[in-house]
Amino acid sequence: MAIAPTPETILDAALRCAADCHWEQVRLADVATALDVSLVEIHRHFADKESLVDALWDRADRSMLSHAHTLSRASPVPDQIEALVFAWLAALAPHRRTVREMLLVRLEPGHLHIQLPTLLRISKTVQWLREAAGLRAAFAWRALEESALTALFVTTVVAWLRDGGDASARNILRNGLRAAHEIRSHIGPKQNR
CB 85 within 8 A of CB 153: yes
Report the percentage of the chain scoring pLDDT > 90: 89
112-143 tens-digit pLDDT: 999 999 999 999 999 999 999 999 999 999 99
Q: Work out how many domains the chain is built from and give that number.
A: 2
Residue 139 is part of which domain span?
49-187
Q: Any idea what the CATH number is for the domain that residue 116 is in? A: 1.10.357.10
Does residue 2 lie within any of the structural domains? Answer: no
CB 148 within 8 A of CB 131: no
- pLDDT the model gives residue 109: 92
DSSP assignment of 124-177 equals: HHHHHHHHHHT----HHHHHHHHHHHHHHHHHHHHHHHTTT-HHHHHHHHHHHH
- pLDDT the model gives residue 39: 98
pLDDT, average across residues 21-46: 98
- pLDDT the model gives residue 1: 56
The answer on pLDDT for 2 being more than 90 is no
CB 107 within 8 A of CB 115: yes
Same domain, 16 and 72: no
pTM: 0.94
75-92 tens-digit pLDDT: 999 999 999 999 999 999
